[in-house]
């Protein structure tokens, strides 16, 4: 967590705010949130930052399947009860979902349902230890696979590959469970950054930091410099100051 007042103090010092004084707290909050979102996307690899030696991105979750350590404050998981085995409306998905990193599904079957148990074992589902409601039932967990639209029909109709799949749309997720409808799914995802707010009160015509009504940035304080550098770059564009733009970009490039 990074205190928004510390961010603003650093930013004000770099742009010499005492003499400039030409931006409102509302505009500075916009700069701060734009900077946070820029850093968030860079750490996720969206847009990708390319390593010229290999022509591939140095940070790109889509390729590496590794969450950058700086994004740990944004990692979450949530269970969703499955009422429709073919579709989850967007209203049932987490409101703060930005990028799913894994989806698991949980299926409960009777102990004497040998056919379902055998099929779940074949699809590489695993029994969940110590989570059986009664001795008559057994719970299995499996991993759902994201399948793009051009491959969806062939996967659904495949007689060989029997694996649960999903495909995301603007209004929800399309689902296919080849064995039986699960009890629920669990989504592991990166949440959207919470909007940071530097709140203030006015004392003797001076804006004074209001800690009680402020909302801090979720990134670790070690990344404060990278946030401020992006704010300085935004400020440079806002005021048509090429020196500030260059300073901010140099610090972004160097990761300082």
Confidence grade of residue 130 (pLDDT, cut at 50, 70, 90): low
Q: Is the torsion defined by CA of 216, 189, 39, 27 positive or negative?
A: negative
Q: What angle do CA 22, 26, 30 make, to 5 degrees?
A: 100
Look up tokens 């701060």; give the residue.
32
H or E stretch covering 242: helix 242-254
How far from 176 is each of 21, 38, 112, 164, 204, CA to CA, in Å? 57, 35, 25, 6, 63
What's the confidence (pLDDT) of residue 134? 67
pLDDT digits (tens, 9 = 90+) for 154-199: 888 877 777 899 999 999 999 999 888 899 999 999 999 999 999 9
Q: 175, 105 in Cβ contact below 8 A?
A: no
Which residue intervals of 105-190 are DSSP H helices?
114-122, 149-156
Which pLDDT tens digit goes with each residue over 189-236?
A: 999 999 999 999 999 988 899 999 999 999 999 999 999 999 999 988
pLDDT at 65 over 80: no
Tens digit of each residue's pLDDT (9 = 90 or more) over 3-61: 999 999 999 998 887 666 678 899 999 999 999 999 999 888 855 454 545 555 555 55
pLDDT at 19: 62
For residue 87, the tally of other CB atoms under 10 A from its CB is 15
Mean of per-residue pLDDT scores for the chain: 85
Q: Are 5 and 209 in contact (CB under 8 A)?
A: yes
Task: Please say whether the beta carbons of 7 and 36 come within 8 A.
Answer: no
Its pTM stands at: 0.82
What stretch of H or E contains 44? Answer: helix 25-44
CA distance 31 to 47: 19
């Amino acid at each position: 967590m990074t205190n928004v007042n510390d961010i603003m103090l650093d930013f004000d010092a770099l742009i010499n705010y005492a003499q400039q004084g030409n931006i409102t707290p509302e505009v500075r909050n916009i700069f701060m949130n734009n900077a946070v979102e820029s850093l968030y996307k860079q750490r996720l690899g969206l847009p990708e930052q390319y390593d010229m030696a290999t022509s591939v991105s140095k940070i790109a979750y889509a390729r590496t399947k590794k969450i950058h350590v700086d994004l740990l404050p944004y990692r979450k998981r949530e269970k969703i009860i499955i009422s429709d085995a073919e579709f989850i409306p967007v209203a049932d998905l987490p409101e703060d979902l930005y990028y799913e990193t894994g989806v698991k599904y949980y299926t409960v079957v009777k102990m004497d349902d040998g056919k379902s148990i055998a099929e779940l074992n074949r699809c590489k589902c695993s029994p969940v230890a110590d989570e059986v409601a009664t001795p008559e039932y057994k719970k299995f967990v499996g991993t759902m696979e994201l399948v793009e639209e051009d491959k969806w029909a062939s996967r659904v109709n495949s007689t060989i590959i029997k694996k649960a799949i999903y495909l995301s749309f603007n209004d929800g997720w399309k689902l296919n469970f080849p064995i039986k409808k699960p009890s629920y799914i669990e989504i592991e995802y990166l949440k959207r950054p919470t909007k940071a707010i530097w709140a203030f009160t006015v004392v003797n015509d001076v804006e004074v930091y209001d800690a009680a009504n402020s909302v801090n940035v979720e990134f670790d304080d070690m990344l404060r410099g990278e946030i401020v550098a992006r704010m300085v770059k935004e400020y440079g564009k806002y005021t048509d100051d090429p020196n500030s733009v260059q300073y901010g970009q140099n610090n972004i490039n160097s990761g300082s």
